[in-house]
Structure 1
Amino acid sequence: MIIRFGYVALPLNLYKASPNKIINFKRFCQLPDEETQLYKLKSIVKENLDATRRILIYNVAHDIRIYRFTSKLVPLVTHDEVFDWDYIDEFKDMFKRIGDYVKEHNLRVSAHPDHFTVINTPDDNILRSSIKDLEYHLKIFEAMGLSEKEAKLVLHVGGTYGNKKKSMERFIRQFRSIDKKIQDRIILENDDKSYTAMEVLTLCNDLKIPMVLDIHHHWCNNNEEKIEDILGDIFDTWNNEVQKPKIHVSSPKSLKQPKAHADFVDINFLLDFINKAKVINRDFDIMIEAKKKDDALFKVIEELKLTEGIQVIDGATIEI
């Protein structure tokens, strides 16, 4: 059983490599004219794309093949009061260069639209904004030349709005109404408050889409289901995909803040899950969502080197 590890967005060990530089709307409006505003947007996007390519090179140098893009490559792109501009055509060569590098090195990439992107909302305006955000992510991946099999979008189900059953039904209905090209990229994740792993698994089976299990969220929010009882079914949602099943891992920050993410991953928390997954004996990938990003990944690998029965293959991969 082979497990690969990755991290989210911003490596802490790469100098001046933030891929999510932004300008807030207030500052944007203070710029003197539209020409200056456009120049500012273009300069930020160029910085973000340059940083993204540097990050991918850094990842390959450290054997890290699992990576989540920031959703903030293009600032203010979905803001209703900001003019439209063709960022795809403007930076088509840079997008393609990033996508080519991803494919050349067989990297697994994804994105996780922000919490305000909610498919099961009963509010039509929020739904329109959510679809606009999903369309933005779709454009980015298509500009990179990454297919629906190569680059996925991770989403939570959303709110319960006082009636979980109806909210799940509304998710299915509204999911099926959006562009098929977006549908084909979406994978669902259980959350730490509203929808348990079992509930998300039910939705994924109904919609025939993959599920990401977040083991920290499951620890926070469950109906006493045991991971070992549902993990095989969760992994099976990936049977029609070219990518392996995917797990998210982080550790509680403290007993007072159990839902917040700690700086690093509690190795015993992780090993408990890995030991349960051994029974299934299927390769999978782990996205580390700890606050210390790549440092947390490196620490996990160093600790796994000391664990009996685990062989570290390279800087971000183990075999059991």
Structure 2
Amino acid sequence: MLIRFGYVAIAFGIKEGSPNKTVTVKKLSKLENAEVKLDLLRKILRQNLETTRRILLYNQAHNIHLYRLTSKLVPLATHPEAEGWDYCSEFKEEFADLGRLARESHCRLSAHPDHFTLLNSPKSDVLAASLRELKYHDSIFRALGYPPSPQLVLHAGGMYKNKKQSLDRFCREFAALPDTIRQRIIIENDDKVYTAADILSLCKKLGAPLVLDVHHHNCLNNGEELSELWSEIVSTWGDVRPKIHISSPKSEKDRRSHAELINVKSLLPFLSAASKLDRDFDVMIEAKGKDRALFTLLDELERTPGIKRVEEAAIII
């Protein structure tokens, strides 16, 4: 069973490896000339695209085949201050180049719209903002040259005092999404409201993949064992390679926040359970240490009996 590992957005292993450069709304709004505003946004986007390109080359050099794009790639993309800016057309060649580079290096790309993207919100303004966020991410993957497939991670949202009604509302809004957006969505269990079992039922109903967050499951469950759920979770992916998220709690008092590194001991029980199904899958590391956490974890896994490291960022069990 082959397991590949990846990380989120920032590469500490290269100089100026953050593609998250942006500008505050306050600073941008002080610029009276519309063209000056656009020039600033263009400059920042160009930097972010170039940094992303360097990250993809770095990933290629280290055989990292899994990477999450930053949602901040385009500065203020969904804010009224940047409304009407056709960044995908202006930077068509740069986006296409990134897409080609990722595909040639067999790097699986994904994104995770922020936690304010709430399809089940009863508030119309929140829903409208969430749809803008999803359309923005869809436009990025279109510009990269990626057809719709499981690429965008989304939480089910809040409870809003009634769990069933909130899930029903999610289902209605999910069904109303444009096909190209709906087909890109992967739904994740969270650490406050919706367990892995809840999201499994939701994904079966919607025909959407479930991206299992092991840390969230450890924070929130009703006694379900992942060994009992794993085969059903995998089945939601069909022929697509399943993906999970891992992280470790920052401390005993702050269990929801992510630590700098991954505690390998907390991951081993899941890997043991998953190995019984013998299905290849990918692991997204959501640690503050980003690529540093990835290499540290792989070094530790390499020293674990029964695990063989086959690349810098992949193992066989």
**What range describes the TM-score normalised by the shorter chain of this pair?**
over 0.9
Which residue in 2 is equivalent to 1:113?
113
Which residue in 1 is equivalent to 2:66?
66
Which residue in 1 is equivalent to 2:294?
297
Which residue in 2 is equivalent to 1:133?
133
Q: CA deviation at 1:17?
A: 2.1
Matches within 5 A, 1:17-32: 17-32=17-32
TM normalised by structure 2 equals 0.98
Q: CA deviation at 1:80?
A: 2.7
Paired with 2:247 and 2:296, the residues of 1 have a C-alpha distance of 13
Q: Percent identity?
A: 49
Which residue in 2 is equivalent to 1:261?
258
For structure 1, list consecutive stretches of 5 or more residues without a partner in the other structure: none
The one-letter code sitting in structure 1 at the alignment partner of 2:105 is H
Q: CA deviation at 1:183?
A: 0.2
The one-letter code sitting in structure 1 at the alignment partner of 2:235 is D
Matches within 5 A, 1:1-320: 1-149=1-149, 152-241=151-240, 244-320=241-317
Paired with 1:32 and 1:124, the residues of 2 have a C-alpha distance of 31
SS of the equivalent of 2:21 reads: coil
C-alpha root-mean-square deviation of aligned residues, in Å? 0.9
Q: CA deviation at 1:30?
A: 1.5
Q: CA deviation at 1:81?
A: 4.2
Paired with 1:8 and 1:82, the residues of 2 have a C-alpha distance of 25
Paired with 2:23 and 2:119, the residues of 1 have a C-alpha distance of 27
Give the conservation status (yes or no) of the 8 Å contact 2:245–2:284: yes
Cα deviation 1:103-130 (Å, max 9, x = unaligned): 1112111000001111111111111111
The one-letter code sitting in structure 2 at the alignment partner of 1:108 is R
Q: CA deviation at 1:24?
A: 1.0
The one-letter code sitting in structure 2 at the alignment partner of 1:300 is L
Paired with 1:18 and 1:309, the residues of 2 have a C-alpha distance of 36
Paired with 2:301 and 2:73, the residues of 1 have a C-alpha distance of 34
The one-letter code sitting in structure 2 at the alignment partner of 1:265 is I
Paired with 2:26 and 2:17, the residues of 1 have a C-alpha distance of 25
SS of the equivalent of 1:275 reads: helix
The worse-fitting range, judged by mean Cα deviation, of 305-314 and 31-40 is 31-40
Paired with 2:82 and 2:4, the residues of 1 have a C-alpha distance of 40
TM normalised by structure 1 equals 0.97
Paired with 2:85 and 2:78, the residues of 1 have a C-alpha distance of 11
Paired with 1:19 and 1:248, the residues of 2 have a C-alpha distance of 21
The one-letter code sitting in structure 2 at the alignment partner of 1:158 is G
Give the conservation status (yes or no) of the 8 Å contact 2:29–2:81: no
The one-letter code sitting in structure 1 at the alignment partner of 2:285 is I
Q: CA deviation at 1:233?
A: 0.2
Q: CA deviation at 1:272?
A: 1.3
The worse-fitting range, judged by mean Cα deviation, of 280-289 and 24-33 is 24-33
SS of the equivalent of 2:139 reads: helix
Paired with 1:89 and 1:310, the residues of 2 have a C-alpha distance of 46
Give the conservation status (yes or no) of the 8 Å contact 2:28–2:81: no
Paired with 1:66 and 1:108, the residues of 2 have a C-alpha distance of 5
The one-letter code sitting in structure 2 at the alignment partner of 1:171 is F
Q: CA deviation at 1:76?
A: 1.1
Cα deviation 1:131-168 (Å, max 9, x = unaligned): 1110011111001101113x610000000000000000
Paired with 1:81 and 1:198, the residues of 2 have a C-alpha distance of 41
Paired with 2:147 and 2:186, the residues of 1 have a C-alpha distance of 14
For structure 2, list consecutive stretches of 5 or more residues without a partner in the other structure: none
Q: CA deviation at 1:78?
A: 0.6
Q: How many residues align?
A: 317
4+ residue segments displaced more than 3 Å: none
